Structure 1
Amino acid sequence: MTATDPESDRWNHRPDDLVPLNPLFSWPPNPRAVWNWYSGAWLQFTSLTLCMVMALVIYFALLPPLADMKTFAFGWVFRVWLINMWAQTLIAGTLHWWLYIRRGQDMKTKFDRRELTRNNGVFTFNNQVWDNIFWTLGSAMTVCTIYQCGIFWAMANGFVPTVTFAANPVWCVIWLALIPMWSGFHFYWVHRLSHHPKLYKHVHAVHHRNVNVGPWSGISNHWYENILYFTTYFIHLVVASHPLHLVFHSMFQQISPILSHSGFEKIIANEKEAARAGDFFHQLHHRYFECNYGTSEVPFDKWFGTYHDGTADATTRTRAFKKQMYTK
């Protein structure tokens, strides 16, 4: 991909290289590329490491003991809800403040030239940010809390398989590493379903109001979409898990979209790169809709012909696919 590619003119900023996909699924195998991919995700300050730190803090300092969750009670359920609200508001609020209120890095690494929308009747309250906050804290935090509390209750009562780090340290670590991959697998299929014309019109369109995304856009979804989106947690009803696995999964599902929808590729402080943030792979989906339904972690889009690699040729193919699909 070069700077002369016509796609460059459509963005304020875009990565210099083609949108990458997880090399774990490439052939022939490339161990160095796989190492670089996963070390870049886990050994730097990224959404993954942020979610892991948040999960550890929540599990060891904030979450009620599992024994207290054997019976449903307002106290511990409300506490789980407060934890979700606190985590979402802390990360989305801080990132929004830095990027869009404080304007701490101006337009550096911002994908879209446009500002977040105000005075637009498409959005609840005629304001994109307030719309996103309403659907995130109202819809998403309610649904995810209900699911999490149900699973914690099932774990506490021994209704589902559980493990401990003391007895199964290898599996516990492996399962932590696999959760993002499971999330990508689940998200692709739920997201494709959400793009069915009927579901899109009445449900998924709430999220796609955000063509130009911001930190609060990540899980700004209709109630029905969140009911589908958070079923990713149900894997812990069948795969032996520790409560920390569910907490990490929750943070990954709820916090990583804040960064991936931030609208900026990198967070810059004092003229230095502080963290990786926005995901151009998904930014392309919000611009062109019928591409990059999944994540770069599991390359379903490449396998099923909906991968947009960031070039003008890919945009042409995506627009042709969209026209054909809606004609049908």
Structure 2
Amino acid sequence: MEFLLWMAQDWAQHFGDDLLRYLLATVTVSLLVGIVFRRWMDRRRIQKRRAGWRDIRREISFSMLTIGVFATVGVVTGILYDWGWLKLYLDWGDHPLWWNIISLPVVILLHDAYFYWTHRTMHHPKLFRHFHRLHHLSRTPTPWAAYSFSVGEAVMMAAFSPLLTLLLPLHVLVWLAFIFVMIFRNAMLHAGCEFHPRGWVDGPLDILTTTTHHDLHHQKFHGNYGFYFTFWDRWMGTEFKNYKEAFRLAAGGSEKAAPAERGAGIAT
């Protein structure tokens, strides 16, 4: 009985922590888009259509379900840590300084690869309906769609952290920093307005995705699967051909971004 009570308390703690991070990211991005920089953001809206309250309520509802799944995986992760299976550490001196410095960029690179291939896999016709269709109900996404997943997709997304820490030593603060980078990036990619400056796709930072990059994915589905970086889409031929044109229209304050076109080699 005491064990079940401990499990319930631990689950509630994880749920509260994940909910706080979700709200911190989605509320911050929503306030920036809808209030603080509203006039500027309205000129940088990617789609002419706007999401309605019904869309937002659906996104929040399924995000709560996802957070419940994340909390469950968090309990399992904690048990694995107590058993000594995970390589999370608390003392910076446990590993060399160079590893402490580069570990966050390494985690982001690994997560980008994991996201690209799991995301693309979920678009396979035999898997899409069961895993990823729910997320794509957000044809015009909002920041609240960041965690709007089915149970299967939520498990797949949550599995990265325990898998990662089974394989790589990570300081707990580096792991937490990654979690915050991930949810804020996720909220930004679903914001529906282009945050990035006009010349972004014409310079060296073009290796990083933009809100337009992911918004085109929500519009047309089969393409632009990347999360942080554009290079997987470019290596695999799954980036929409007119991505840069659509970005320039949105970042330039045009009323409507160009419709997406499928690039050569795009597969489902």
User: Which TM-score bucket, shorter chain as reference?
Assistant: 0.7 to 0.9
The runs of 5 or more residues in structure 1 that have no matched partner are: 1-70, 119-126, 269-275
* Amino acid aligned to 1:305: G
Matching residue of 1:46:
none
After superposition, the C-alpha distances for 1:244-278 in whole angstroms (9 at most, x for unaligned) are 2332333233332111111122299xxxxxxx996
Question: Please, what TM-score do these two structures have when normalized by structure 1?
Answer: 0.63
The answer as to whether partners of 1:80 and 1:145 remain within 8 angstroms in 2 is: yes
What percentage of residue pairs aligned between the two structures are identical?
21
The CA distance in 2 between the partners of 1:228 and 1:242, in whole Å, is 23
Determine the structure 2 residue equivalent to 1:161.
87
Contact conserved, 1:185 with 1:298, CA < 8 A, in 2? no
Partner of 2:69: 143
SS in 2 for 1:306: coil
1:279 counterpart letter in structure 2: T
What does residue 193 of structure 1 align with?
Answer: 121
Query: Equivalents in 2 of 1:117, 1:285: separation in Å?
Result: 19
Amino acid at match of 1:199: L
Residue 89 to residue 162, structure 1, CA distance change in 2 (3 Å):
closer
Aligned-residue offset at 1:86: 1.4
In structure 2, the partner of 1:273 is: none
Give the partner amino acid of 1:288.
K
Tell me by how many angstroms 1:243 deviates.
2.2
1:17-166 to structure 2, matched below 5 A, reads 73-100=7-34, 104-105=38-39, 107-118=42-53, 127-137=54-64, 139-163=65-89, 164-166=91-93
The match for 2:237 is 305
Query: How far apart are the structure 1 equivalents of 2:210 and 2:261?
Result: 23
Kindly indicate whether the alpha-carbon contact (under 8 Å) linking 1:262 and 1:277 is maintained by their aligned counterparts in 2: no
- Which residue does 1:240 correspond to in 2? 169
Distance in 1, matches of 2:180 and 2:154, equals 15
Equivalent residue for 2:204? none
1:302, distance to aligned residue in structure 2 (A) = 1.1
**1:222 partnered with 2:155:** no
Listed as ranges, the gaps of 5+ residues in structure 2 are 198-207, 247-257
Hey, what's the Cα distance between the residues in 2 that align with 1:290 and 1:277? 16
- Cα deviation for residue 148 of structure 1 reads 2.5
Q: Which moved more, 1:172-181 or 1:244-253?
A: 244-253
Q: After TM superposition, give the deviation of residue 73 of structure 1 in Å.
A: 4.0
Matched residue count: 237
* TM-score normalised by the chain length of structure 2: 0.76
Q: 1:173 to 1:225 in 2, by over 3 A?
A: same
CA distance in 2, matches of 1:229, 1:245: 18
CA displacement at 1:194 relative to structure 2: 0.8
Paired position in structure 2 for 1:293: 225
- Structure 2 residue matching 1:255: 3-state secondary structure: helix
- Do the aligned partners of residues 278 and 296 (structure 1) sit closer, same or farther apart at CA in structure 2, a change above 3 Å counting? closer
Q: Per the alignment, do residues 242 and 303 of structure 1 end up closer, same or farther by CA in structure 2, a change over 3 Å counting?
A: same
- Going from structure 1 to structure 2, the CA distance change for 1:303 and 1:240 (only over 3 Å counts) comes to same
Output the amino acid matched with 2:38. Answer: G
- Give the structure with the higher percent helix: 2
- For the aligned residue pairs, the C-alpha RMSD in angstroms reads 3.1
For the Cα contact (< 8 Å) 1:151–1:237, is it kept in 2? Answer: no
